């Protein structure tokens, strides 16, 4: 079930929230969370009820392994073996459903075999809930998960606002919130904040992201079918996709946090204006922040991080980003995308180290340095998007070639309104570079959990001073009218099914 569908907005969400409010107001605290498990399972099974067997088996197995690990001495031999078994089981589960056909196709291509494709249907959200279960097993082995019951674990995995496309939550962030039995009333401030974030997200998806998709898709489709987009069409198509994926993921993140807040739950921030980053490391501290956290804490650091010398650090960075790319999809385009970001990060850290040896800051603190870094980062991300979006390596390289003038410098295009798409993309740049994002606009109401990335606190920042208080949200009549207008416009714009980009992972 899509967040941006009539079924969800007009039926599922009102019923789920109404029953929750009634149970909460009558003091049935435990039943409110039981109800959330029920509606979350229904939400997940709506598209394909057979998926419930897979997520159910995953939850039972991981909870049993986690519970047994919680009874063992952390670090003991038996604990380590059981943890490895749990991690292996999760990886095999994910590997079969997501990568089996990818493996078969590559074996056929390399060895000329005639193995038939397995045609495995990828269960929606499997990458997200498998990674959450995997981290639960690892943390159980470290003695961090004792005392959780199966209901809490089920809700931790299936809670519908984050189930399909994140944020990838940590049990320590979620399960304590399921135990706040002292709250026997509905906090209407939560409801107001939740509705606001949901409507902002819905408007971003329907009114902005889906419009840019209409300009980006024809360019990528043309490259896939053998055509060679010109210089202008290539750049405009990729720019349009950059705006599509930005507002699409920003929309989903807002809607996920808003939906959770309607039920009194705070999720961690997962999207924090990544195009404002002045370097590629800053981009990854702002883009899919919970995935970056997971890759850092459960892959990069266990591999050794930066503790074993410069060369090993770059190897660990490359390995982490290649695996992160493959996590996004079973295709070489995703591997190349991850590899590009590994090269970007290694290059940035090498540059920072070179400047540090000369007594300079890693980034030029001057305004010119800020914008130079921001523009270089943005262009590097644009190039990587080609591989993230393209359906094949050949189409991706064809588009990149056009972007760098290898196929001429033509600005002609018959597939999309080139000038309109170019002006629209250019008009969005001040929005993504200067305006506060949703959680900054609602900072006074603490719309999400505070998220700490390394030593940098990323989260509940105040609205930028130069905007004063003009864009801060408050429960006023003016903002109510704005939200009503956005909601009506978004509902009227729901003319076709449009999945979120990250739902395919």
What is the full DSSP assignment across 363-404? S--SHHHHHHHHHHHHHHHHHHHHHHH-SSHHHHHHHHHHHT
Backbone angles phi, psi at 123, to 5 degrees: -65, 135
Neighbouring residues of 326: CB distance < 8 A, sequence distance ≥ 6: 99, 334, 335, 338
- Tokens representing 159 are 């809670």
Residue 328 catalytic? yes
- Tokens representing 18 are 């109404």
The answer for 408, left when phi > 0, alpha when psi is -120 to 50, beta otherwise, is left
Distance CA 141, CA 138 (A): 5
- Tokens representing 331 are 């295709």
Cβ–Cβ under 8 Å, residues 197 and 258: yes
Q: Say how many C-beta atoms besides its own lie within 10 A of residue 456's C-beta.
A: 11
Cβ–Cβ under 8 Å, residues 77 and 141: no
**Within the chain, what is the greatest distance between any pair of CA atoms?**
70
- Tokens representing 390 are 């393209």
Active-site choice (162, 170, 288, 328): 328
Strand-strand pairing, 451-453 and 456-458: antiparallel
Where in the sequence numbering do the catalytic residues fall? 328
């Amino acid at each position: 079930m899509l967040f941006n569908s009539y079924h969800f907005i007009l039926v599922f969400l009102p019923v789920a929230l109404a029953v929750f409010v009634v149970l909460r107001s009558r003091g049935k605290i435990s039943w409110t969370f039981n109800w959330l498990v029920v509606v979350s399972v229904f939400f997940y099974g709506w598209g394909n009820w057979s998926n419930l067997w897979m997520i159910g088996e995953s939850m039972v197995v991981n909870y049993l392994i986690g519970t047994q690990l919680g009874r063992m001495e952390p670090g003991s031999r038996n604990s380590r073996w059981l943890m490895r078994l749990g991690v292996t089981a999760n990886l095999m589960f994910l590997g079969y459903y997501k990568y089996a056909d990818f493996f078969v196709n590559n074996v056929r291509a390399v060895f000329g075999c005639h193995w038939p494709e397995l045609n495995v249907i990828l269960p929606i959200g499997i990458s997200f809930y498998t990674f959450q279960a995997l981290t639960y097993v690892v943390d159980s082995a470290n003695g961090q998960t004792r005392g959780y019951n199966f209901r809490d674990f089920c809700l931790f995995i299936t809670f519908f606002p984050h189930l399909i496309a994140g944020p990838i939550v940590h049990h320590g962030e979620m399960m304590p919130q399921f135990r706040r039995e002292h709250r026997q009333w509905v906090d209407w401030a939560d409801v107001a904040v939740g509705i606001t974030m949901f409507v902002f997200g819905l408007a971003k998806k329907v009114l902005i992201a889906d419009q840019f998709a209409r300009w980006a898709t024809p360019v990528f489709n043309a490259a896939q079918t053998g055509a060679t987009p010109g210089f202008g069409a290539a750049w405009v198509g990729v720019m349009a996709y950059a705006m599509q994926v930005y507002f699409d993921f920003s929309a989903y993140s807002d809607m996920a946090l808003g939906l959770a807040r309607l039920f009194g739950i705070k999720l961690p921030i997962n999207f924090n204006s990544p195009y404002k980053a002045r370097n590629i490391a800053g981009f990854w501290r702002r883009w899919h922040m919970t995935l970056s956290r997971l890759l850092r804490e459960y892959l990069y650091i266990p591999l050794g991080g930066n503790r074993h010398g410069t060369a090993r650090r770059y190897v660990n960075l490359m390995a982490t980003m290649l695996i992160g790319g493959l996590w996004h999809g079973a295709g070489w385009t995703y591997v190349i995308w991850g590899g590009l970001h590994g090269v970007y990060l290694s290059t940035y850290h090498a540059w920072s180290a070179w400047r540090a040896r000369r007594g300079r800051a890693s980034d030029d603190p001057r305004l010119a340095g800020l914008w130079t870094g921001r523009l270089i980062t943005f262009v590097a991300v644009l190039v990587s998007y080609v591989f993230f979006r393209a359906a094949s390596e050949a189409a991706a390289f064809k588009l990149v070639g056009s972007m760098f003038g290898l196929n001429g410098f033509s600005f002609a295009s018959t597939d999309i309104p080139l000038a309109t798409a170019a002006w629209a993309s250019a008009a969005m740049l001040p929005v993504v570079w200067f305006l506060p994002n949703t959680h900054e606009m609602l900072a006074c109401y603490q719309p999400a959990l505070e998220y700490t990335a390394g030593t940098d606190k990323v989260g509940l920042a105040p609205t930028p001073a130069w905007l004063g208080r003009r864009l801060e949200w408050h429960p006023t009549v003016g903002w109510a009218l704005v939200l009503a207008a956005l909601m009506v416009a978004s509902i009227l714009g729901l003319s076709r099914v449009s999945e979120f980009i990250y739902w395919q992972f």
